[in-house]
Structure 1
Amino acid sequence: MKKSLFQISVVFLFTITSYAQTSNEGMLYVSESTEFSTLEKFDNQLSGEFYNDGDLYIYNHFNNDGIVDFFGTTGLTRFVGSAVQELSGTQSSYLYNVFFNNNSDSVPFKLSGSIDISGVSDFYQGIVDIDNFGGSINFSETGSHTNASDDSHVDGPVYKTGFNSFIYPIGDGGFYRFAGTSDSQAESRYKAKFYFENSNDLYPHTLRAGALDAIDDQEYWVIEKETANLGDVLITLSWRDVTTPEDFITAAGQGAITIVRWDEAANMWVNEGGIVDMDNQTVTTAVSGYGVYTFGALNKGIVLPACGVTVYNAITPNNDGVNDYFFIDTGNMSCARDLHVQIFNRWGVKVFESFDYGVNGDVFDGFSDGRFTLNSSKQLPTGTYYYILDYEYDGDTPSDRYKQAGYLYLSGN
């Protein structure tokens, strides 16, 4: 269908147009396959209702004190200014697809209002500054993004509502430094922010537990759960040579990098473990505590050779007596004990958990645990899973614990 230009009108819509700005005081609807654009500031006032299912071009500032929303799944809002754009307002703007494209400045978007995205946000060009202006971006359950880079991302906190894996398009200091969460609970809401700063002044690096040799002193993330629902979640942190210290990148290649969290109650950095993905430069683990995260470097010799723990990560539950269950050889049981094991699928859904693994036949044999899934009597499908192993060992202090994570391969053959 040929697109038409939907002009602002005072008939039935109660809108006012001036040379200084475009103001909406009534109801304005941009229908599917329709374009609407404004060269000057667009101000949706307290009484204004603006609905976009078409193609909206905002070439200047944008303010919403009323209702901004959509009906279908076709609306696209383009912020495409040639000068710095202020995105403000006292009310949340509910947008479907969003397109950021402004190269007038390295940080051209000053967001003091609230934007909620249900479709795809295309970070084509231009950093969105929330940190200095106090706004917010929330991705709904269906929201996602594309093209985030050093040149275009969010500098400040980003919220995500709903389940499924999500990568936060966050950065700081001109660098895109994403983190991710994966939670199977639809009502969950998270907030993530990246800091290109040394955390030592706030969270001393000398206060660290167990086998941690060092704490990343150039970057950290804050990941918080905004909802009260309980349960573990998978989190992912990324490394890059432009921000991550070289020693930690080297540690990643040696399997000695881990995710660490500042534990407020213990007043120290604790090891959360991590699955290293060299191709994507990420580390992933399961956590139940939230707050400040960064990378730690492990002295693996403190734990593993002494306890002799070996994880056999292939399962073929066909009752042939070979690899029928997830086997963890603890060697000297007086060293490694009190094994806590969690198994997650690739969507972050927990399918098994044991707080005393291996005792009285409590093992993972490829079947889901009814506490976490509906298929308690059905074998899980062939594929790659994550395991999280947490155990007590004899360290420098009583009841030291060590946490590690890795891939688990389940085959039906």
Structure 2
Amino acid sequence: MKKITYSISLAVSFLGCVVHAQNGEQNIVVNTGVMFVAPNETIATHFDFSNTENGKVVNDGTVLFFQNFNNDGQFSFSKQGKNAKSSTVVFRRHNQDEGIQVISGNAITEFFDLELSSKTPVVAFDLKNNMDVYGTLNFDEGILKIDESINPIHKSSYGMLTFQQGAQAFNTSDRSHAEGKVEKIGKEYFEYPIGDETYFRAASIGAPQDILDAIVAEYKLKDTPFFAERENKTGVVKEVNTNEYWKLEGNLKQDETVILSLTWDERTTLSAMMTNPESDLHIIRWDEKQQLWVDEGGVVDMSTRTVTTPTKIKDFGYFTLGTVKEDLILDGDVVIYNLVTPDGDGKNDYFIIDNIAKYPNNRVEIYNRWGVKVFETTNYDALGDGSTNVFRGYSEGKITVDRKKKLPSGTYYYILTYEYKDANGSRMIKKAANLHLETN
């Protein structure tokens, strides 16, 4: 094996960075010391790159990797000061070259902005490394397959893609997304760039409560054994989309409600459920304790092809789309009016739920579009005349934001649950949908 030592330039400093070449093998760049890329400077390597356990890379400029990448040391960027947002890394094949690019290593690799660009079909990038993104991930082209097998060294999966607080993904499509588990840390809205094979099937969450909250999402297509083990469903659930599901795993301190949105696609969603999606589609969840699929409700947006509902998550949950038996949803002649205009004119001055007083074992929760609870109470409108214990556009009840604070106009989400009794016994009825508030 022969070594070729890189020379130091104004753009890049190398201390201990060499190129190894061996007959019959591809050249490889090995960093055993310190490598610094200055802001506004660009370097590229057409060789494999390896950052050893003793290696340290600080990239405040732009680095392009055209071959395989391995990191066992420190690979990051300046996180403070004027250069904190100047770092970009690009994984790309040269010109029209194809072939899977392997991104591996036992140490966490930190990027600010990251771009993936490869014309290799199906799987373009094989992720066997834990990557953290702090800025943006541009899915320009190529599917990133995340290796979920366990690494015996650090006892977690070989591959993991994590978006830190404030980070986002864009340019996702059927040709470019992540296949496997994607983690989001932070308390802002996030759309997971996930799919399976050549199908991009997004899921999004509203803002969790804590900046350190972490939620992992994964999408699975055509997992027949999974649904074979989960056939039971509540009486209100008519049909389950057994073609696909999303798994959400939470590292949360307690049960927390987030606004969950799932998408439908005629290519993957059961055709029988597509007759009238605007009125039929709901999000359903596998209840691990009851061992059956339960209705989580849903607000359908035809323009974005999404179904949205507030749902609780702490440890994990399986979600998919389903249809429900409309005649069972609101037993007991309960009627919900989803417009609140508290202007004192006697019309819709509060959130009206007709006949709810007949069912005192009830709970009403209201959330804003980011998943923050603004209202919660039990035994809603006990007298049935709106005089007490109702939502009037203010933060009241067992709430998580300022008490008695007037809420801004906009779209909110409500969850109503109540106990209904008849000759067949009692059951809990649940309804979740949108609520429009006009306080101007």
**Range that drifts further, 139-148 or 277-286:** 277-286
1:364 equivalent among 369, 373, 391 = 391
**Range that drifts further, 151-160 or 17-26:** 17-26
**Range that drifts further, 243-252 or 396-405:** 396-405
Is 1:210–1:395's contact at 8 Å kept on the other side of the alignment?
A: no
Partner of 1:382: 409
- Say yes or no: does 1:34 pair with 2:34: no
- Say yes or no: does 1:404 pair with 2:431: yes
Q: Which runs of 5+ in 2 are unaligned?
A: 1-8, 22-26, 79-83, 150-157
Query: Deviation at 1:404?
Result: 2.1
Cα deviations by residue, 1:76-126 (Å, 9 ceiling, x for unpaired): 110012331100010111100010001133211000101100111010100
Is 1:8–1:17's contact at 8 Å kept on the other side of the alignment?
A: no
Alignment of 1:9-408 (within 5 A): 10=14, 13-19=15-21, 20-71=27-78, 72-81=84-93, 82=97, 83-131=99-147, 134-182=158-206, 183-198=208-223, 201-202=226-227, 204=229, 206-253=231-278, 255-289=279-313, 290-304=316-330, 306-330=331-355, 334=358, 338-359=361-382, 361-369=388-396, 372-394=399-421, 398-408=425-435
Is 1:251–1:297's contact at 8 Å kept on the other side of the alignment?
A: no
**Range that drifts further, 266-275 or 356-365:** 356-365
Q: Which runs of 5+ in 1 are unaligned?
A: none
Amino acid at match of 2:295: N
CA distance in 2, matches of 1:265, 1:219: 21
**Range that drifts further, 229-238 or 25-34:** 229-238
Alpha-carbon spacing, 1:39–1:206, altered in 2? closer, same or farther (3 Å): closer
Query: Deviation at 1:202?
Result: 4.5
Cα deviations by residue, 1:212-234 (Å, 9 ceiling, x for unpaired): 11111111111111232432111
Q: Secondary structure at the match of 1:362?
A: coil
Alpha-carbon spacing, 1:395–1:62, altered in 2? closer, same or farther (3 Å): farther
Q: Secondary structure at the match of 2:275?
A: helix
Query: Deviation at 1:161?
Result: 0.3
CA distance in 2, matches of 1:203, 1:272: 21
Query: Deviation at 1:194?
Result: 0.5
Q: TM-score, normalised by structure 1?
A: 0.92
CA distance in 2, matches of 1:297, 1:76: 44
Is 2:103–2:126's contact at 8 Å kept on the other side of the alignment?
A: yes
Cα deviations by residue, 1:272-303 (Å, 9 ceiling, x for unpaired): 11111111111111122441111121111134
Q: TM-score, normalised by structure 2?
A: 0.86
Query: Deviation at 1:350?
Result: 1.2
> How many residues were matched structurally?
404
Q: Secondary structure at the match of 2:393?
A: coil
Cα deviations by residue, 1:30-78 (Å, 9 ceiling, x for unpaired): 1210102111111111011111111110111111101111111111110
CA distance in 2, matches of 1:392, 1:349: 25
What is the RMSD computed on CA atoms of the aligned residues? 2.2
CA distance in 1, matches of 2:38, 2:159: 28
Q: Secondary structure at the match of 1:232?
A: strand
Amino acid at match of 1:111: L
Matched-pair identity in %: 33
Cα deviations by residue, 1:113-167 (Å, 9 ceiling, x for unpaired): 0110011101010000114664000000111011100000001010000111111
Alpha-carbon spacing, 1:199–1:350, altered in 2? closer, same or farther (3 Å): farther
**Range that drifts further, 170-179 or 401-410:** 401-410
CA distance in 2, matches of 1:391, 1:211: 14
